[in-house]
Every structure is written in structure tokens, then in C-alpha cells.
Structure 1
Amino acid sequence: MQESYLDKEKGYFSNIRKDIISFIGTSKDQTILEIGAGTGATLLELKNKGAAKIIMGFDIVDVNQNKEKFDSFIIGNIEQDNVPFELDFFDSILLPDVLEHLVEPQKTIQKLIPHLKKDGNFYISLPNIRNFEVFYKIFIKGSFEYADEGIFDKTHIRFFCKKDMLNLINLFPELEVQKIESNLKHLSSMKSTLNKITFGVFEQFLSTQYFLKVRRN
């Protein structure tokens, strides 16, 4: 699996996830862990904005050339390796477009829960397979051809509709979905405008992604 990520363009690992930062909101001075942190650009931006005071990253590929800027940065396989962090330690754990790459995403969530503080939050983003472009590609063009990124990313091995995302979190009695939000809210586009004027009726077909804020009770 690790080798398949090495074929990715560098930009795949180095983008600042402004959508995730916007979704987190105005919280300050948090202790934050990001799984799938890439170069750590999002964590550094959170620290620059004052949202984080302690930042730790974890990724399967070693593309971060500035690990000294982090309180901890670990290269490993989140599904196979132990999580070497303190219990009840993090205010927030980020899982931005990570769970769809895992064989058993529920086991990774279970592994991470003890390291999240009580009343701490997971911030999760997942691609939405119910998007109309998926319907067009499969049912009109008759193809499930994989791509280098996006919903058909060749490293995706799990697929989710909005209902599946909620069902995944509902497996854990100690977790509660505080908010689930379409990526359309973070876009200025024809699709987001269409979603507004149709009062969200077609949201699940227009959204390419959903964001979830999940609290540990």
C-alpha cells in the first residue's frame, strides 16, 4: 500500500486544507493530532492561526522535510502500528480524507478514541460516492476507472454515502456526531448556488465530500 502513495504528485501531500480549518472554526490553543498529515501544512497553518499550540502528525509516507517544526511527527501505518500517544491527550484529532484509504476504518477510530480528551472532537472528511458525477461515470459511461485523486482515487478501498458515514460513527456509543456538513458550504460554485436555490434537496447528489465533527462523550 505504501508504494502506491509514492506515485502521487507532491501537491497531494502538501495542500493546506482550508476547508477543514474553516470547519474547525475559532477554537484556540488546541493540542491537535492529524492522521494522514502529509507535509504537515495544515497543522502548521492551524498553529499560525492560533488554533493549535501543540501539533503532532502521523503519515504512512515520509514527505515532511520539516519535522523539527512539530511536537511529534511519526511515519507509520495507522492500521498496523501502535499509537504512541498519551491517553486523554488531544483536544482534536483530524482524519481528513483518511478513512476511505483503510481496510478497517472502524478499528482505527477505536484505536484513536482513548487518546482524545473527554469532550474532544474528531474532525473527519470523507468523499461522497452518491455524487451525480459518479452516477454519470458508472451508469452512463459504464466505467469505474480509477484516477490519481478525487472520489475515484486509486488508493481508495472504502466508499461512503452520507448515511454510511453516520452509521460508521454510530458504531461507537462514546461518540456523537455534533455536525455533518457538505463541502458545498465551503465552495463558491454553480453547484453550491444550485444547492441553495433548491433548499438542499439535491445536496447528496451535488456534494463531493462531507465533513463531520464528532465528539467523545
Structure 2
Amino acid sequence: MSLRDRRLNGYEGARPDVQQLVPPTASHVLELGCSSGRLGEALKLRQSVSVVGVEMDETYAADAVGRIDHVVNASAEEFVADPPPTARDFDCLIAADVLEHLVDPWTVLRSTVGLLAPGATVVISVPNILYWPQFRRLLFGHRFPRDDAGIFDRTHLRWFTKKDAEELAQSAGLRVERIVPSYWARGPRLLLRRTLAKTPVRSFMAAQYLVVATVPVGDAGAVPDDVV
């Protein structure tokens, strides 16, 4: 099985959890790390929207062409350093499980917010490094896992908890509206994790956090004075 096959579920899904957080009124979407374009394609089937995707992997980028409106084959860092002249006034930004792969996700997100319209929605998804089924591998394995995909994807360069995810958005000048936990479970196991999420061990229950934030009207791209 190829590396791409092993990463299929984690890298190329249509992400219904992210879709439901994208406003139905969004009409001009920028997706950092669009992979093969499945998420953008699903959004286009759901609503009238144009989707611009940024993807550094040539194979994924080639597959995304035809599924979404425009694909920029570049890293997120390269894109924000020299965005196309038309890359402006997006009313929705999606950064789903891409920021943890960057050396400086704080700067990249702050720069990308500068391409958004006032009032735009931002949907960020990051893995939770404290997710118990994976975190216990550190506790009992006495080594840092390096997997092909998932929480301990070997290409992850940054690690986030719920608080880290919130501060990431705030440092970019965004107003955090809500944080949605993703439990990666079904049936009784999902019920158990949701129940435990109401207890002091809540930080260990979610596998991912989805942050929904907005660009303050009148302050597109602005960073609060007290954020360094």
C-alpha cells in the first residue's frame, strides 16, 4: 500500500464536519491545504461558491484541478508571501489540518487573514496532542510516535491543545466564536467521551478541535495591540 493510500482517509476526505461550519452564505472560499479538492468540491455541490485551493503537493494539486475553481500549487508560506492579485476579499477561509504542518502557523494565519473581507468566517481544524488514546502511547511507550497520518503524523511540526488553538486564532486578530470538539468515535464510545468531556478530564477526550472565528468588521487583518 502506498503512502497516499495510507493517508487517504485523513488527507482526502470531504470533511462533513468542516462543511457544516462553513456559512451557507459564503461565496468566495480560500482553502489552505486543499489536498485533492474533495472538500471544496462538496461545498460547490452544496451551495453557489467559488473555491480557491492552495496545495504544495503536485499530485494532490493536479487532482484538485477540475474539482474546484482555481488551484495554486505552492506551500501556504509561499502563497501568503506572494499571493496572486486576485486573491483578495475571501468571505471564508478553511485551514483544515494544515497549520500543524507549518514551521510558523501563527504568521501564516495572520498573513492569510489579511486576504479576507471584513466579517469573513475562518474555520480551523487542528489535532489535539492531549487526545488520550494517542497520548497514552507517549506515557507507556516512552517514545514519540511517528506515524504516516493522524495525531502523530511524522510531518507535523507544531502541536496544539484547545487553548493553543484558541490563542492561534486570536493572535491572527480573529474573534473566536466557538470551538467544536471532534471525538473520532461512534455509538457507546462516542457517548462515553461526550460524558467525560463534562468532567475534569475533558482535555483528553477530543481528537481534534475545530475553531470557528470571524474577522472583526472594520479590522480585516488587524492584530490586537496586546498580541506579540
TM-score when normalising by structure 1: 0.86
7, 17, 29: which one aligns with 1:19: 17
Show the counterpart of 2:99: 99
1:48-107 CA distances to partner (integer Å, 9 max, x unpaired)? Answer: 011x42111110112233513432111001113422254651111100001100000011
Question: Cα–Cα, structure 1 residues 155 and 190, in superposed 2: closer, same or farther, change >3 Å?
Answer: farther
Show the counterpart of 1:134: 134
Contiguous gaps of at least 5 residues in structure 2: 217-228
Between stretches 137-146 and 187-196, larger displacement belongs to 187-196
Write the distance in 1 (CA, Å) between the matches of 2:211 and 2:117: 17
- Aligned: 1:207 with 2:206: yes
- Aligned: 1:183 with 2:182: yes
Show the counterpart of 1:3: none
DSSP-derived class of the 2:4 partner: coil
Give the root-mean-square deviation of aligned CA atoms: 2.2
Segments ≥4 residues shifted beyond 6 Å: none
Write the distance in 1 (CA, Å) between the matches of 2:33 and 2:73: 10
Q: How many pairs does the alignment contain?
A: 208
1:203 to partner: Cα distance: 2.9
1:178 to partner: Cα distance: 0.6
Question: Cα–Cα, structure 1 residues 47 and 129, in superposed 2: closer, same or farther, change >3 Å?
Answer: same
- Aligned: 1:60 with 2:59: no
Contiguous gaps of at least 5 residues in structure 1: 1-5
The answer on whether the counterparts of 1:102 and 1:158 sit within 8 Å (CA) in structure 2 is yes
Q: What does 1:48-127 correspond to in 2, within 5 Å?
A: 48-50=45-47, 52-62=48-58, 63=60, 64-65=62-63, 67-81=65-79, 82-86=82-86, 88-127=88-127
Question: Cα–Cα, structure 1 residues 65 and 168, in superposed 2: closer, same or farther, change >3 Å?
Answer: closer
